[in-house]
Chains A and B, each alone.
Chain A
Amino acid sequence: MNGLEYWIFLGFLIYIVACSASYLLLNLVAFDTLRTYLQQKRTQGGQSLNNGNEPPISVIVPAYNEGTTIVSSLRSILQLHYPRLEVIVVNDGSKDNTLDVLLSEFEFQAFPENISDSIPCAEIKQVYLSRIHKNLKLVDKANGGKADAINAGINVCHSPLFCCIDADSILEPDGLVRIVQPFLNHPETIATGGTIRIANGCTAKDGRITSKGVPSNFLAIFQMVEYLRAFLFGRIAWSRIKGLMIVSGAFGLFRKSTVVDAGGYTANTIGEDMELILRMYRTMIAQDKPFRVEFIPDAVCWTEAPESLKVFASQRRRWHRGLSESLTLNRSLLFGRKSGTIGWVAFPFFILFEWLSPFVELAGYIFTAYLLLSQQLSILDASIIYIFAIQLSVLMSVVSLLLDEFTFPGSTSMKGVLVLIFFAFLESFGYRQLNMVYKIQGSIEWLRNTKHKWGDMTRTGNWQK
């Protein structure tokens, strides 16, 4: 290798090692955090979490063309073990039969609700109240996107805390009681997030998960491995070091007053969940108030992962575009004087190892191909580096499975665990590259400012009976 090539090659290696070291460090932090958390959980000594001091919660369910899954999803939410619960489903101008299904299934009647105008949102046509469930409201509004739908829900809700759940998701019965605990213990808590798990391969009946399993669809298995990694060490560790930058849009609990102060969800962004959290951080820092965002590993929400390549591609493009938008819109956090771990650790990490990673990866492939073609690198040497990268990825996945075993013992069968390990190995041969392509496409869409609407995700609802 010549001088310049050698230094570029070394640069790539340093990037891989830095990335690996950061992830390994996060792993260690996650292990320690989970150990403490599980110990605390055990010392609760069988006492119910539900202690009668829970603040009221409004669950906001934005729905756009969710006719196939909305009823079972709402039934599951209404069955949640939570003492003071209000459920607000927001029909965001669905083109399918979502509204009709809801009106007939829950016997809604028009209700002249007192709607706040604290956050701007598209026109609310009508608010309905269910005759069957007195705590269930339906907001019918003009289409404005997911963020706009949640904003409408916030304007209608009357609780100090609100929770966002995707309409196709199923919450574990004690999910809300668990996710609310940090708000009870730490007054400065502004948001909490729960674990999202893949429901493909599971069966659900009457809004409850009745059996858990590994999906049969290859794409869903890859995503299962990825979700385990993202939630069971990524978010636990970031939460511990006060650098959690994402509370998933599929299951998160927020303090309403802080969200209103921050201006609610931004309707013209794609990654509205991450963008909101970053904006909430900015608001709290500007107001010079203490704040805390926590992740609760055993507050679980089940959601359907895309099984077709087209939907998967759309989702990944949207996510990366969302990441790009969130980071650029909130760039003032980066190395800000009062930004703390967020601005000095998490933000640079996300830029380096999340936002830029597809580009670095692509450049790495091109550069390796160039070195191979110019015979400056042997296939054996290239394989050594690639095997190292694969092993690192497998290690992360295995550690996530281990954390999963500690958090939810026995939830995945031993056969399932082996399948997941095998797919963790396989993901470096195709899936990772595919992801890279979609992420780059997402970045290009962001640069070109192409319009991207929510609701691209087509749900099968096959797992819900």
Chain B
Amino acid sequence: MLQNPSSEQFLSHFELLKHLRSILKKIVMLFTGVSVIFLQLPDLVDFISSQAGIFKIAIFASFVLFGLILLSLVILSIARIRFLINRRHIEKVEAIWLPVLEGVSEERPPLLKSQWSHVLHLWVDLRAKSASENAARLDKLAREVGLDDVIFAILTPRGYSVFSRPIWLRTLALTAAQWFPSKRVINNLWGALASNNRGIALRACTSLVSLQAENYEKAVIKILFRFPEQAPTIAAEIGAAGGGRILHVLEPFLDRLPNYTITNFISLAERSTDKSLLPLIIEKLHKYSNSEEAGSLLRAIGNLGGYEQRNEVIPFLNHDIPFLRIQAAKALGRIGDLSDIPLIIPLLSDENWWFRYRAAEAIVNLGGKNYTYLQQMLNNEKDPTVSDILRHVLSEKDWSTT
């Protein structure tokens, strides 16, 4: 009998009713207690008026506190009931919609208005975690069940503003919109960008960036100029959506960003293949604020730069901070010009084994087989850990260690 879905549903409702009944019982008990106190009210008034001033106030304050305690308990009970009802609803929606959105079920149940928010939540979670090969299938399924219509309906302004959709629902729809590149949804996003609500405008902007909509840079610039004090948040959001590709748009705001946000942007640029970022990275390197940031910039130049950018890196080989010397060596290793090997050689005698190792790694990256300096270094290295790591690096590079 338990296998029957309707019975299960009945049982879950029954459990909920049981919960509600126990809570109601407690409320009735409390109400009875309060009533008893009220019945004794005349005696209490006599008692209070017989007390001295201070105690009169204390008794009054005690009653106020008691009332506040009761009020808190009532709010607590209501919050719990709402939570239980909401949980049931979510479980029900999940049971119906998760198999549909994942493509496990062939059914296409009607998407009720009361289910919009939960289904959108499910979809956003599912889509955010999906692997790229699965994405197209999930998007197709979402369109089949009419999620794009739901997003359009939520985002399209209604004639009467008094009953406009709640902000959280619009934000949710804007988040989901980043996977629906239809013209009408993009129009909705541009509309939402003008919203007075910062959260909505920002979410619309990140979705436009994710969609790589036409003129999306304009959206970023608009939002940065409207909310300059929110530059770090905007940078974080947009960085996640568009990566290093739009770093140049953020340029006027870089000074306002926390160091590691800049560093992380540069790391994103480091993974990018967009060489147009190089002038900005080099400019930033000229006025870096800490070694970590400079390290990231050097790595970015190592990845994106060519022969001409070596001159920006070479001065760092003699920098006071050992970490930067190493980053410079690594960057040169990546740029890959053989003529730089003699510049890195002095680092092979650095007193720190880790730097010697990184320098060796840079030379391995730059040089060909049988490079004598490395062989010499390996032979002279007394620290067994360094020799081990060196052999490991060399073997990784298919270098003969014998």
Contact = CB atoms under 8 A, between A and B. Distances in A.
Contacts of A392: 65
Secondary structure type dominating chain B contacts: helix
B317 interface: no
Contact of A39 (B83, B168, B256): B168
B264 A55 contact: yes
Given A53-B264, A55-B263, A160-B292, A183 B69 contact: no
Contacts of A384: 51, 55, 58-59, 62
Given A43-B168, A384-B58, A410 B87 contact: yes
Contact of B79 (A47, A114, A405): A405
Interface string A427-449: 00000000000000000000000
Sort chain A's interface into a size bin: 35 or more
Contacts of B87: 410
A47 B128 contact: yes
Interface stretch (B170-178, B308-316, B327-335, B390-398): B170-178
Nearest to A398: B72
B354 A114 contact: yes
A125 to B, nearest CB: 16
B240 A46 contact: no
A409 B23 CA distance: 16
Interface stretch (B33-41, B97-105, B118-126): B118-126
Interface in B230-253: 232-233, 235-237, 239-240
A45 B65 contact: no
Given A43-B199, A391-B65, A398-B69, A111 B385 contact: yes
B232 A402 contact: no
Nearest to A411: B83
B221 interface: no
B22 interface: yes
Given A112-B353, A394-B69, A47 B175 contact: yes
A421 B54 CA distance: 28
B11 interface: no
Interface stretch (A131-139, A184-192, A312-320, A349-357): A184-192
A59 interface: no
Contacts of B237: 51
A52 B210 CA distance: 14
A10 B124 contact: no
Interface in B109-139: 120-121, 124-125, 128
Contacts of A54: 264
A385 B55 CA distance: 7
Nearest to B383: A112
B239 to A, nearest CB: 5
Interface in B258-314: 258-261, 263-265, 268, 290, 292
B62 A45 contact: no
Interface in A387-412: 387-388, 391-392, 394-395, 398-399, 401-402, 405-406, 409-410
B244 to A, nearest CB: 11
Secondary structure type dominating chain A contacts: helix
A46 B236 contact: no
A379 interface: no
Contact of A381 (B55, B61, B128, B174): B55
B216 to A, nearest CB: 17
B80 interface: yes
A219 interface: no
Nearest to A54: B264
Sort chain B's interface into a size bin: 35 or more
Interface in B148-182: 167-168, 171-176
- Most B Cβ at <10 Å: residue of A43, A110, A410: A43
A54 B237 CA distance: 11
A409 B87 CA distance: 10
A202 interface: no
A44 interface: yes
Contacts of A257: 290
A252 B270 CA distance: 31
B54 A10 contact: yes
Interface string A32-57: 00000001101111111001111110
B84 interface: yes
B203 interface: yes
B58 A43 contact: no
Contacts of A51: 236-237, 239-240
A40 B258 contact: no
B333 to A, nearest CB: 20
A388 B260 contact: no
A52 B240 contact: yes
A52 B242 CA distance: 11
Contacts of A409: 79-80, 83
B68 interface: yes
A42 B168 contact: yes
A414 B54 CA distance: 38
Given A40-B199, A48-B128, A384-B58, 5 more contacts: A9-B54, A42-B168, A160-B259, A394-B69, A402-B72
5 contacts: A9-B54, A53-B240, A257-B290, A384-B59, A401-B72
Interface of A: 9-10, 13, 39-40, 42-48, 51-56, 110-112, 114, 160-161, 183-187, 257, 381, 384-385, 387-388, 391-392, 394-395, 398-399, 401-402, 405-406, 409-410, 414, 417, 421
| 3 closest A-B pairs by CB | A51-B240, A187-B258, A55-B260
